Structure 1
């Protein structure tokens, strides 16, 4: 009976973790669809990132004090402070502003699909820095290269085939569609939006590599999120004031109520996903958590089609399938490699990167 009770408790914990991960991805998808409408009505991305970051800092502060105060370093060295500032700069204004600009010019489905590139890009960045083992003779490395190439191919397919300028028409032939695709690459805002999203994923990947290196010295994830959110939001609001001479919401058409709702959603989402995500990573590991990322894309695609009446092309669906397949190949190779490393008792400093 005692053993059954333990197994039942473990089963409930597993179910709670899976439900939490599904909830995080669903909430992120709803937020992306929700905020795309406000951005279309002129909401300023810089203001949204800054205000949402300040709210997230306020919400995380009491939890950081309560649970991580004893883990804070006694002295904040210059190198650690510089790392935190760089994480705040690249991870908050650069990453989030590019995401919002990309959502504004594309669709929530494409915007939520792009982050699936991050494991492959992390592999490339970590390999260049010597953090990740790169040996072309090793099967694990070959599979990660294959998965990365599949992800990149899927992104290109989504970027080109989902473009509004290449929507299929009954009178269109293959040659005509190809010509329209090539024309859209140089003349359509859609491609600019895809470039914004790609830049956001590069910024996210660089931030995750830097976070992994910083966590070895500053093992307080909630406090790190709080501090980097504060730094990033301060940099963002200062940048808006310097470049535009004012701190403007840019959304007079949606009113104070719409602005308040948008900022509250951004702050709550950031703090909620950070805390739940870190808990799940602690319990199940980063690779397991990464497996749920494509659910955000699926949810956003369905919501975009139902609510925003946005067309989803066959080419875009094929691109998503390639991207998801590449993602899981990279994660599978990383899991097998991590298992081999643990068996050989050699520490893997890139292990936190795929969360």
Structure 2
């Protein structure tokens, strides 16, 4: 029984979160390759939202849980609209940041999410800090260490450790990168602008985790919530992207590879990731879900080297090691808190079961 509980409560969420990080990095890599082939940033964003909504609506219809809507339906619907607006902001900022930089930088700065989420969770009283407990101290230190590792990745590039064999010098080209790039109007690399976009993206992402956790508490039907979320997000995205991209020819998809990138980003990078994160938020909470972000730096470095022609630098390796130390520190702190909570609950049940017996003896003595 304990092994089965460990499997469903610990191992399955761990594997699901790792798969979600792989899907996120794969989506970012696909976006970078698609825009290098001339696809508009706004076209990609809208089509991905439509694919995500179309993929989730049938699942919501067939796997709908019998959960009752909260009494205040207007407030509940407004929360989902706000959630969709936050998701749209994340996607627009993230895609714009990728235009200026790379998936590796995105994954590096995404390590700010555990710190952002932890601070927001404390602010909204979803997490408690007890400086007398080692678990709280380790979580704080682990968040700081993860952020330090992300800064190392961004600020210290270092010498090339692994050079991509597919890319001729001096231009770095990969398996998914066209030779030469087809989009001459593509923004020039600007890592400062890209980094700022990612910082605001992951701040919005942290708010998304907090709000989504509150929504799932009052309406625990993850698939239906995510399906409605993407449907509203597509409706919000359509006017923005149609106004921003007025060239009707840009909306025609003629390259099958670009269609594959959009389908993968909508199905795996958006709907699959959102469903897994929503399920994880309901099961484990926002800090647990956000603490898996540091893993994406190693995944992005590997995908970038193979698929986009990025070289692997020493700074990425050192930063990934530092990030991993902080990452496991956060997980240890969460596991320790769960263990202490379980012991406290067990002690509470034991004391409550003994109370009526003590009262019975007192009555007998009277």
- In 2, the alpha carbon distance for the partners of 1:296 and 1:202 equals 17
Q: Which position in structure 2 is the counterpart of 1:325?
A: 325
Deviation per residue, 1:54-87 (Å, 9 max, x gap): 2211111121122225225276612111111111
Which residue does the alignment assign to 1:148?
Answer: 143
Distance 1:333 1:161, change over 3 A: same
Q: Distance in 2 between matches of 1:14 and 1:190?
A: 37
Partner in structure 2 of residue 136 of structure 1: 131
Q: Which of 48, 54, 62 is the aligned partner of 2:50?
A: 54
Partners of 2:218 and 2:52 in 1: CA distance: 23
Please name the residue that 1:189 is paired with: 190
More moved, 291-300 vs 130-139:
291-300
Contact kept, 8 Å, 2:90 with 2:202, in 1: the verdict is yes
Deviates more, 1:151-160 or 1:82-91: 151-160
Match for residue 210 of structure 2? 209
Q: Paired residue for 1:106?
A: 101
Matched, 1:73 2:64: no
Range moving further from structure 2, 65-74 or 261-270: 65-74
Structure-2 separation of matches of 1:11 and 1:138: 27
Q: CA 1:231 to 1:13, structure 2 compared with 1: closer, same or farther past 3 Å?
A: closer
**Deviation digits for residues 285-327 of structure 1, max 9, x if unmatched?**
8888767654443232122123323123222322222222212
Deviation sequence 1:140-187 (CA, Å, 0-9, x none): 32222211211221222222223xxx878xxxxxxxxxxxxxxxxxx9
Distance in 2 separating the partners of 1:189 and 1:337:
42
Counterpart CA distance in 1 for 2:70 and 2:247 is 36
Between 221-230 and 75-84, report the one with greater CA deviation.
75-84
CA distance in 2, matches of 1:212, 1:304: 32
SS of equivalent to 1:216:
helix
Deviation digits for residues 108-157 of structure 1 (CA, Å, limit 9, x no counterpart): 22223333332222111111223221333443322222112112212222
**C-alpha contact (below 8 Å) 2:53/2:234 kept by paired residues:** no
5+ long unaligned stretches in structure 2:
161-187, 347-366
The match for 2:357 is none
Q: Contact 1:113–1:297 at 8 Å: present in 2 too?
A: yes
Aligned counterparts of 1:214 and 1:302: Cα–Cα separation in 2: 36
Q: Secondary structure at the match of 2:130?
A: coil
Map of 2:350 onto structure 1 = none
Q: TM-score, normalised by structure 1?
A: 0.75
Structure-2 separation of matches of 1:268 and 1:48: 13
Distance in 1 between residues matched to 2:125 and 2:275, nearest whole Å: 30
3-state DSSP class of the match of 2:63? helix
Partner SS for 2:220: coil
Offset at residue 226 of structure 1 (A)? 0.7
More deviation in 290-299 or 34-43? Answer: 290-299
C-alpha contact (below 8 Å) 1:29/1:112 kept by paired residues:
yes
Structure 1 residues 172-209: Cα deviation after superposition (integer angstroms, max 9, x where no partner): xxxxxxxxxxxxxxx97112111211221111111001
Partners of 2:135 and 2:11 lie apart in 1 by 31
Contact 2:210 2:286 survives alignment (8 Å): no
**Residue 316 of structure 1: SS of its match in structure 2?**
helix
> 1:11-56, CA deviations, whole angstroms, 9 ceiling, x for partnerless residues?
8999887766655444443333232121234433333222212221
Note the C-alpha offset of 1:225: 0.7
C-alpha contact (below 8 Å) 1:47/1:237 kept by paired residues: no
Please state if 1:226 is matched with 2:222: no
- Would you say 1:306 and 2:301 are equivalent positions? no
Alignment: residue pair count: 318
Distance 2:249 2:225 in 1: 27
Q: CA deviation at 1:281?
A: 7.5
The TM-score with structure 2 as length reference comes to 0.73
| 2:86 corresponding residue in structure 1 | 90
The aligned residue for residue 161 of structure 1 is 156
CA–CA distance in 2 between the matches of 1:71 and 1:249?
A: 44
The residue number in structure 2 matching 1:182 is none
Structure showing greater Rg? 2
CA positional deviation for 1:279: 6.4
